[in-house]
């Protein structure tokens, strides 16, 4: 049983590293939307994964079922995600503003179940594949290779991360969001439209989740249950990075991807998902506010 | 007048009750448990639709024991806890004397203690974990091949494939780990080296880490055991990583047409062990029956890709009907005893139960044939080996 050569070992490690970067970008995108909503609204959004699935199905509808342009599908998914998010906020969350966090959590669990079964009803249980304009042949760089689609996905994810950061730190809406996060009542006294801020926050968070689904749908497959795993990962990332911490969610996404990839590659692939949660248990034991608690929190 | 109204109501109620009893006597209920929603909804619905075709066919010919076969179909929601709960509901509330289920090995294993508790037999149509028939549950009768049977059937052709060393990538549950163990054992007997055994969680979508490790190994063949969704992802990701090894999949839940449609070129030159060959019904154990089933499936507008799953439901209900006929009454214990005596043609060979598991409380296991198919240039071909 001759193992790989020493060069083989280096090549394998480089491939793992590249895989982790590809995965990390999308994990970060998933985490940011969730952390933003929790940070500003104190809503534990169990429907986050369903917005992810909604984004993926929107791309499928536009690019595969209607046969229109793939990039048009991506744009449609982000816009539709924002609109659906705004609708959920106005219909479900606005009347619950004074309810406690557990009640809101139950409402969001209900929304999750309704949305998932609606997807199953509309699209059926058979997984859908989205064809993209990217070439099938992978991009080969020396010993490692990667599909063009994933290169695009990471680039798009990083672009969206930077865009959300700019939105929060460089715009008037962002300033109002940060003020609401620090103290909603005072912000209201200063003339901030709190209702509008909440709707905008939920819409932006939802749009980010839909964008993640739209980008990953073509990489993986689109199924009605695809949101469950996405939700799980998103919560893990948010806990890792600290609740409400955008920088933390970004770095947390990359850490989770790296731990999973290296854990699966060198320790045991059967415990791939356990690796990520092991790290989370350690974080909760030793730094319960998240790895980046002292770093900047939405502002 | 008041009294009259009362009498009339009473009479109407008695009449209604009478009709209800008559209806109950006119049909024999058969419980069906499948994943109709959740992760395995597609496969579960195919099996349930195959079961309905069998029941309609049987009823058109006069039913069983002069009564209609009535399927009571329940959803296990792709969840073992739900599977056990609906089994209890079928037995206690619907009083079904026999059940067919429950697609995944995890769901079937969850139901098994309930069968012991209520003494109701279950026909297993898809699950392939070895321990379903080896744990000493005398209410289990299985028509799908467990991985050990699949490995033995594969052993007859394995030498011709000239495998030097094989890696495994299997789903991390009873099904996948069982397949790695049984095929690994068989390979060693045929002087084939076994290299890496990598696993993946059932819902996992990114298998790049496992594939990167497999890419670096010196094995020439990769054996994969999982369902169609994960296979699609593995083929695409393996192509992206430039993995060039012969790929053989086991387990019969590959759904080759869906692989071709969704994985595209990445599915080319992969080999699959399947249990039904709708692409060429002539090689089926009963070509006329296979053709008629395929024709009815198409007539109902179901997708062709579903046939590799739906035939299991069709064979399962036909087996149950044969057992009820043999038993002469819709009684759980009589049906259980009758399963041991029946013999009928299935799509992939004769259905006849052999004893499996510890003596005194054996389960029934039928030993069907397997087929090797290959995907070449986006088409399913049946290589002659």
Which tokens is A25 given?
């970008």
State the Cα angle at B285 between B281 and B289, rounded to 5°.
60
Residue in this structure with the two tokens 């030097």, named with its chain if needed: B164
pLDDT band at A293 (very low <50, low <70, confident <90, very high): low
Mean pLDDT of chain A: 85
What part of A 148-177 touches B (C-beta under 8 Å)? 150
pLDDT for A289: 78
pLDDT for B22: 44
pLDDT for B8: 53
| Preceding peptide of B55 cis, ω within 30° | no
What count of Cα atoms within 13 Å lies in the side-chain half-sphere of residue A65? Answer: 11
pLDDT for B21: 46
pLDDT for A26: 84
| Least CB–CB distance from B240: residue in A124, A145, A225 | A145
Pairing of strands B27-34, B99-101: parallel
Q: What is the pTM of this model?
A: 0.81
Percentage with pLDDT > 90 across chain B: 64
Lowest mean pLDDT among A246-260, A267-281, B214-228: A267-281
- Tell me how far apart the alpha carbons of residues B368 and B144 are, in angstroms, rounded to a whole number: 7
CA distance B324 to chain A (A): 33
Does position B2 have pLDDT exceeding 70, yes or no? no
* Identity of the highest mean pLDDT range in A275-279, B252-256, B375-379: B375-379
pLDDT band at B6 (very low <50, low <70, confident <90, very high): low
DSSP three-state, residue B170 = strand
Task: Please choose, from the candidates B333, B329, B313, B317, the residue with its C-alpha nearest in 3D space to the C-alpha of residue B121.
Answer: B333
CA distance A13 to chain B (A): 9
CA distance B203 to chain A (A): 7
Residue A229 touches partner B, C-beta closer than 8 Å = yes
Q: How many residues does chain B have?
A: 385
Residue A133 touches partner B, C-beta closer than 8 Å = no
pLDDT for A40: 81
Does position B15 have pLDDT exceeding 60, yes or no? no
Cα dihedral A61, A64, A67, A68 sign = positive
Residue B66 touches partner A, C-beta closer than 8 Å = no
Q: What is the ipTM of this complex?
A: 0.76
Mean pLDDT of A220-228: 86
Residue A272 touches partner B, C-beta closer than 8 Å = yes
Give tens-digit pLDDT for B332-363: 999 999 999 999 999 988 999 999 999 999 99
Lowest mean pLDDT among A222-226, B11-15, B25-29, B288-292: B11-15
Mean pLDDT of B367-371: 87
Give tens-digit pLDDT for B207-255: 888 898 898 899 999 999 998 889 999 999 998 888 889 999 998 877 8
> With DSSP H G I counted as helix, E B as strand and the rest as coil, what are the percentages for chain B, rounded to 5?
50, 20, 30
- Tell me how far apart the alpha carbons of residues B45 and B41 are, in angstroms, rounded to a whole number: 6
Count of beta carbons in the 10 Å neighbourhood of residue A275: 19
pLDDT for B18: 45
Does position B23 have pLDDT exceeding 50, yes or no? no
Residue of A nearest to B210 (CA): A265
Pairing of strands B344-346, B349-351: antiparallel
- Tell me how far apart the alpha carbons of residues B364 and B353 are, in angstroms, rounded to a whole number: 5
Pairing of strands B99-101, B344-346: unpaired
pLDDT band at A6 (very low <50, low <70, confident <90, very high): low
Contact A136 B203 (CB under 8 A): no
Q: Which DSSP state fits B67?
A: B
Q: What is the CA radius of gyration of chain A?
A: 20
Q: Assess contact for B33 and B109: CB atoms under 8 A.
A: no
Mean pLDDT of B38-61: 92
- Tell me how far apart the alpha carbons of residues B256 and B181 are, in angstroms, rounded to a whole number: 24
Residue A4 touches partner B, C-beta closer than 8 Å = yes
Which tokens is B313 given?
């439901």
Alpha helix (H) residue ranges in chain A: 6-41, 48-59, 70-88, 101-123, 148-170, 172-182, 184-189, 194-219, 226-241, 246-262, 272-286
Mean pLDDT of B88-94: 96
Percentage with pLDDT > 70 across chain A: 95
User: Under 8 Å CB-to-CB from A82, ≥6 apart: which residues?
Assistant: A203, A204, A206, A207, A210
- Tell me how far apart the alpha carbons of residues B35 and B78 are, in angstroms, rounded to a whole number: 5
Does position A295 have pLDDT exceeding 50, yes or no? no
Bridge partners of residue B200, in order along the sequence? B171
Cα dihedral B100, B102, B105, B106 sign = negative
pLDDT for B25: 59
Q: Kindly give the interhelix angle for A272-286 and A226-241, rounded to the nearest 10 degrees.
A: 30
All residues of chain B having their beta carbon less than 8 Å from the beta carbon of residue A140 are 242
Q: Assess contact for B347 and B314: CB atoms under 8 A.
A: yes
pLDDT band at B311 (very low <50, low <70, confident <90, very high): very high
Mean pLDDT of chain B: 89
pLDDT band at A269 (very low <50, low <70, confident <90, very high): confident
- Tell me how far apart the alpha carbons of residues A161 and A163 are, in angstroms, rounded to a whole number: 5
More confident residue, A290 or A236: A236
Lowest mean pLDDT among A267-271, B23-27, B56-60, B160-164: B23-27
pLDDT for A164: 86
- Tell me how far apart the alpha carbons of residues A96 and B62 are, in angstroms, rounded to a whole number: 58
CA distance B173 to chain A (A): 10
pLDDT for B206: 84
Judged on CB neighbours under 10 Å (0-12, 13-18, 19+), B128 is buried
- Tell me how far apart the alpha carbons of residues A118 and A112 are, in angstroms, rounded to a whole number: 10
| Least CB–CB distance from A125: residue in B41, B210, B241 | B41
Does position A141 have pLDDT exceeding 70, yes or no? yes
pLDDT for A264: 82
Alpha helix (H) residue ranges in chain B: 2-26, 41-60, 80-92, 105-118, 131-134, 147-158, 174-189, 208-215, 228-240, 256-263, 287-299, 307-327, 332-339
Give tens-digit pLDDT for A74-87: 999 999 999 999 99
- Tell me how far apart the alpha carbons of residues A210 and A219 are, in angstroms, rounded to a whole number: 14
Judged on CB neighbours under 10 Å (0-12, 13-18, 19+), B5 is exposed
Lowest mean pLDDT among A53-62, A69-78, A289-298, B209-218: A289-298
pLDDT for B11: 52
DSSP three-state, residue A64 = helix
Contact A136 B239 (CB under 8 A): yes
Residue of A nearest to B166 (CA): A1
Pairing of strands B165-171, B349-351: unpaired
Helix (H) or strand (E) holding B198: strand B193-200
Mean pLDDT of B323-339: 95
- Tell me how far apart the alpha carbons of residues A50 and A228 are, in angstroms, rounded to a whole number: 8
Task: Please choose, from the candidates B98, B142, B33, the residue with its C-alpha nearest in 3D space to the C-alpha of residue B324.
Answer: B98
User: Under 8 Å CB-to-CB from A69, ≥6 apart: which residues?
Assistant: A62, A63
């Amino acid at each position: 049983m001759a193992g790989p050569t020493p060069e083989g070992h280096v090549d394998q490690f480089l491939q793992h590293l590249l895989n982790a970067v590809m995965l990390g970008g999308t994990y970060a995108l998933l985490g940011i939307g969730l952390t933003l909503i929790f940070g500003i609204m104190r809503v534990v959004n169990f429907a986050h994964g369903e917005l992810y699935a909604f984004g993926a199905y929107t791309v499928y509808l536009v690019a595969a079922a209607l046969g229109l342009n793939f990039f048009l599908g991506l744009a449609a998914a982000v816009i539709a995600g924002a609109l659906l998010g705004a609708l959920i906020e106005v219909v479900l969350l606005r009347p619950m503003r004074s309810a406690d966090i557990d009640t809101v959590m139950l409402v969001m669990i209900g929304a999750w179940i309704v949305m998932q079964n609606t997807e199953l009803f509309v699209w059926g249980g058979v997984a859908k594949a989205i064809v993209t304009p990217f070439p099938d042949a992978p991009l080969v760089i020396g010993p490692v290779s990667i599909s063009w689609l994933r290169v695009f996905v990471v680039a798009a994810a990083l672009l969206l991360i930077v865009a959300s950061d700019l939105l929060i730190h460089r715009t008037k809406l962002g300033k109002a969001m940060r003020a609401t996060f620090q103290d909603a009542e005072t912000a209201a006294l200063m003339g901030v439209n709190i209702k509008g801020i909440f709707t905008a926050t939920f819409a932006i968070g939802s749009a980010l989740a839909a964008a993640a689904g739209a980008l990953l749908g073509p990489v993986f497959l689109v199924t009605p249950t695809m949101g469950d795993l996405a939700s799980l990962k998103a919560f893990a990332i948010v806990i890792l990075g600290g609740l409400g911490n955008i920088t933390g969610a970004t770095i947390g996404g990359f850490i989770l991807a790296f731990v999973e990839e290296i854990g699966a590659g060198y320790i045991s692939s059967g415990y791939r998902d356990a690796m990520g949660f092991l790290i989370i248990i350690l974080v909760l034991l030793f730094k319960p506010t998240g790895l980046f608690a002292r770093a900047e929190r939405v502002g | 007048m008041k009294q009259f109204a009362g009498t009339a109501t009473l009479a109407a109620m008695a009449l209604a009750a009478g009709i209800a009893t008559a209806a109950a006597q006119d049909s024999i209920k058969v419980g069906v448990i499948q994943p109709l929603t959740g992760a395995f909804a597609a496969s579960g619905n195919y099996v349930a639709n195959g079961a309905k075709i069998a029941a309609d066919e049987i009823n058109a010919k006069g039913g069983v024991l002069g009564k209609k076969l009535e399927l009571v179909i329940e959803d296990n929601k792709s969840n073992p806890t739900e599977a056990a709960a609906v089994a209890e509901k079928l037995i206690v509330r619907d009083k079904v004397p026999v059940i067919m289920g429950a697609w995944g090995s995890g769901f079937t294993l969850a139901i098994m203690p309930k069968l012991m508790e209520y003494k109701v037999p279950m026909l297993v149509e898809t699950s392939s974990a070895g321990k379903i028939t080896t744990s000493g549950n005398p209410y289990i009768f299985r028509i799908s091949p467990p991985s050990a049977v699949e490995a033995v059937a594969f052993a007859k052709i394995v030498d011709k494939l000239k495998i030097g060393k094989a890696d495994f990538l299997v789903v991390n549950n009873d099904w996948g780990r069982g397949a790695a163990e049984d095929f690994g054992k068989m390979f060693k007997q045929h002087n084939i080296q076994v290299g890496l055994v990598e696993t993946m969680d059932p819902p996992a979508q990114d298998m790049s880490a496992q594939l990167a490790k497999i890419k670096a190994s010196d094995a020439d063949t990769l054996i994969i055991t999982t369902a169609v969704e994960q296979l699609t992802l593995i083929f695409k990701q393996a192509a992206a990583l430039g993995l060039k090894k012969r790929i053989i999949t086991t387990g019969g839940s590959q759904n080759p047409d869906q692989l071709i449609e969704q994985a595209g070129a990445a599915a080319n030159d992969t080999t699959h062990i399947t249990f039904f060959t709708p692409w060429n019904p002539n090689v089926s154990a009963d070509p006329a029956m296979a053709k008629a089933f395929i024709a009815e499936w198409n007539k109902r507008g179901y997708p062709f890709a579903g046939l590799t799953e739906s035939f299991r439901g069709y064979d399962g209900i036909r087996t149950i009907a044969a057992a009820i006929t043999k038993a002469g009454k819709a009684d759980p214990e009589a049906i259980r005893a009758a399963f041991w005596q029946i013999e009928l043609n299935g799509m992939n060979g004769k259905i006849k139960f052999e004893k499996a598991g510890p003596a005194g409380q054996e389960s029934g296991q039928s030993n069907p044939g397997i087929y090797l198919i290959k995907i070449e240039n986006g088409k399913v071909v049946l290589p002659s080996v």
